[in-house]
Protein backbone atom coordinates (compact mmCIF):
# COMPACT_ATOMS: atom_id res chain seq x y z
CA UNK A 1 0.00 0.00 0.00
CA UNK A 2 2.76 2.45 0.88
CA UNK A 3 4.64 1.67 -2.31
CA UNK A 4 1.61 2.60 -4.39
CA UNK A 5 1.05 5.93 -2.63
CA UNK A 6 4.76 6.80 -2.80
CA UNK A 7 4.73 6.15 -6.55
CA UNK A 8 1.73 8.41 -7.01
CA UNK A 9 3.38 11.13 -4.94
CA UNK A 10 6.53 10.96 -7.09
CA UNK A 11 4.42 11.04 -10.25
CA UNK A 12 2.46 14.07 -9.05
CA UNK A 13 5.67 15.84 -8.05
CA UNK A 14 7.23 15.16 -11.44
CA UNK A 15 4.10 16.45 -13.19
CA UNK A 16 4.19 19.69 -11.15
CA UNK A 17 7.89 20.22 -11.91
CA UNK A 18 7.34 19.65 -15.63
CA UNK A 19 4.38 22.03 -15.65
CA UNK A 20 6.38 24.76 -13.90
CA UNK A 21 9.31 24.31 -16.31
CA UNK A 22 6.95 24.45 -19.29
CA UNK A 23 5.29 27.65 -18.06
CA UNK A 24 8.69 29.23 -17.37
CA UNK A 25 9.90 28.33 -20.87
CA UNK A 26 6.78 29.75 -22.56
CA UNK A 27 6.91 32.99 -20.56
CA UNK A 28 10.63 33.60 -21.09
CA UNK A 29 10.48 32.65 -24.76
CA UNK A 30 7.79 35.21 -25.57
CA UNK A 31 8.49 38.10 -23.18
CA UNK A 32 11.21 40.50 -22.14
CA UNK A 33 11.25 39.22 -18.56
CA UNK A 34 14.82 38.74 -17.43
CA UNK A 35 15.46 38.98 -13.70
CA UNK A 36 19.22 38.54 -13.85
CA UNK A 37 21.13 41.32 -12.15
CA UNK A 38 24.53 40.55 -13.75
CA UNK A 39 24.27 43.64 -15.94
CA UNK A 40 24.86 45.81 -12.85
CA UNK A 41 28.49 44.58 -12.79
CA UNK A 42 29.21 46.46 -16.03
CA UNK A 43 30.52 50.01 -15.63
CA UNK A 44 28.22 52.55 -17.33
CA UNK A 45 25.55 49.93 -18.14
CA UNK A 46 23.06 52.81 -17.92
CA UNK A 47 24.50 54.10 -21.20
CA UNK A 48 23.60 50.96 -23.17
CA UNK A 49 20.61 51.63 -25.41
CA UNK A 50 18.65 48.90 -27.13
CA UNK A 51 17.09 50.23 -30.32
CA UNK A 52 14.13 48.70 -32.09
CA UNK A 53 14.94 49.68 -35.66
CA UNK A 54 11.44 49.22 -37.11
CA UNK A 55 9.45 50.81 -34.27
CA UNK A 56 12.01 53.60 -33.81
CA UNK A 57 11.88 53.00 -30.06
CA UNK A 58 14.73 53.07 -27.54
CA UNK A 59 14.93 50.83 -24.45
CA UNK A 60 17.17 50.57 -21.42
CA UNK A 61 17.92 47.58 -19.21
CA UNK A 62 15.98 47.49 -15.97
CA UNK A 63 15.09 44.99 -13.24
CA UNK A 64 12.33 43.23 -15.18
CA UNK A 65 14.00 43.31 -18.60
CA UNK A 66 13.73 46.31 -20.88
CA UNK A 67 11.78 49.53 -20.48
CA UNK A 68 10.97 52.17 -23.04
CA UNK A 69 12.98 55.29 -22.41
CA UNK A 70 12.18 58.81 -23.51
CA UNK A 71 15.25 60.39 -21.90
CA UNK A 72 17.56 59.07 -24.63
CA UNK A 73 17.95 60.26 -28.18
CA UNK A 74 18.94 57.12 -30.04
CA UNK A 75 20.66 57.46 -33.38
CA UNK A 76 18.75 54.99 -35.55
CA UNK A 77 20.95 55.69 -38.55
CA UNK A 78 24.02 54.51 -36.63
CA UNK A 79 24.47 50.77 -36.44
CA UNK A 80 27.33 48.41 -35.63
CA UNK A 81 30.11 50.99 -35.08
CA UNK A 82 31.75 50.91 -38.51
CA UNK A 83 30.24 47.65 -39.70
CA UNK A 84 32.32 44.61 -40.60
CA UNK A 85 35.31 46.76 -41.55
CA UNK A 86 35.29 48.77 -38.31
CA UNK A 87 37.72 48.51 -35.42
CA UNK A 88 34.97 47.47 -32.99
CA UNK A 89 34.11 44.40 -35.06
CA UNK A 90 37.78 43.44 -35.45
CA UNK A 91 38.37 43.67 -31.69
CA UNK A 92 35.23 41.66 -30.98
CA UNK A 93 36.06 38.85 -33.41
CA UNK A 94 39.64 38.65 -32.12
CA UNK A 95 38.23 37.53 -28.77
CA UNK A 96 35.03 35.60 -29.51
CA UNK A 97 36.26 34.07 -32.83
CA UNK A 98 32.73 33.19 -34.05
CA UNK A 99 30.74 35.75 -35.97
CA UNK A 100 28.15 33.32 -37.31
CA UNK A 101 25.28 34.57 -35.18
CA UNK A 102 26.33 38.13 -34.35
CA UNK A 103 23.55 40.67 -34.70
CA UNK A 104 24.78 44.08 -33.63
CA UNK A 105 27.58 45.63 -31.60
CA UNK A 106 28.72 48.93 -30.16
CA UNK A 107 31.79 50.10 -28.26
CA UNK A 108 31.63 51.83 -24.90
CA UNK A 109 32.43 55.57 -24.93
CA UNK A 110 35.86 54.90 -23.38
CA UNK A 111 36.60 52.04 -25.81
CA UNK A 112 37.28 49.45 -23.11
CA UNK A 113 34.14 47.37 -23.63
CA UNK A 114 31.92 46.15 -26.47
CA UNK A 115 28.24 45.31 -26.13
CA UNK A 116 26.99 42.84 -28.72
CA UNK A 117 24.08 40.56 -29.54
CA UNK A 118 24.42 36.90 -30.37
CA UNK A 119 21.63 34.66 -31.62
CA UNK A 120 21.28 31.10 -30.38
CA UNK A 121 19.89 28.45 -32.66
CA UNK A 122 18.13 25.22 -31.73
CA UNK A 123 19.62 23.19 -34.53
CA UNK A 124 22.90 23.97 -36.29
CA UNK A 125 21.52 22.16 -39.35
CA UNK A 126 19.02 25.04 -39.62
CA UNK A 127 21.19 27.99 -38.49
CA UNK A 128 18.69 30.64 -39.51
CA UNK A 129 16.20 29.51 -36.85
CA UNK A 130 17.20 31.64 -33.89
CA UNK A 131 15.78 30.54 -30.52
CA UNK A 132 16.74 33.58 -28.43
CA UNK A 133 19.22 36.43 -28.45
CA UNK A 134 21.81 37.11 -25.78
CA UNK A 135 23.16 40.60 -25.28
CA UNK A 136 26.64 40.48 -23.82
CA UNK A 137 29.40 42.87 -22.82
CA UNK A 138 33.00 42.00 -23.63
CA UNK A 139 35.56 43.70 -21.39
CA UNK A 140 38.62 44.21 -23.59
CA UNK A 141 40.94 44.62 -20.60
CA UNK A 142 40.52 41.05 -19.31
CA UNK A 143 38.42 39.45 -22.11
CA UNK A 144 35.63 38.63 -19.66
CA UNK A 145 32.09 38.40 -21.01
CA UNK A 146 29.00 39.38 -19.03
CA UNK A 147 25.51 38.42 -20.14
CA UNK A 148 23.33 41.50 -19.64
CA UNK A 149 20.02 40.51 -21.24
CA UNK A 150 18.26 37.70 -23.10
CA UNK A 151 15.53 38.62 -25.59
CA UNK A 152 12.96 36.50 -27.39
CA UNK A 153 13.83 35.33 -30.90
CA UNK A 154 11.52 37.76 -32.67
CA UNK A 155 13.68 40.67 -31.50
CA UNK A 156 16.52 40.09 -33.93
CA UNK A 157 16.03 43.69 -35.03
CA UNK A 158 17.18 45.13 -31.69
CA UNK A 159 20.22 47.29 -32.37
CA UNK A 160 22.71 48.63 -29.86
CA UNK A 161 24.24 51.96 -28.97
CA UNK A 162 26.44 52.83 -26.00
CA UNK A 163 26.22 56.47 -24.93
C-beta of residue 92 within 8 angstroms of C-beta of residue 84: no
Annotated domain spans of the chain: 1-30, 35-162
Q: Strand 130-139: give its sheet, edge to edge.
A: 102-107, 113-121, 130-139, 144-152
pLDDT in tens, 132-148: 888 999 999 999 999 99
pLDDT at 3 over 60: no
pLDDT in tens, 119-134: 877 766 665 667 788 8
Higher pLDDT, 24 or 107: 107
pTM of the predicted model, to two decimals?
Answer: 0.75
State percent of the chain over pLDDT 90: 26
pLDDT value at residue 9? 86
pLDDT at 61 over 90: no
Amino acid sequence: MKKKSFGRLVLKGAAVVLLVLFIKEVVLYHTYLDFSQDYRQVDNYEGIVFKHEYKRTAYKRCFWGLKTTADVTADFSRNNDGGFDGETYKKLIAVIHDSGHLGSWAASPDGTKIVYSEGHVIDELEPTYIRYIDFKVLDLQDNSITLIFTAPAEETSLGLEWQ
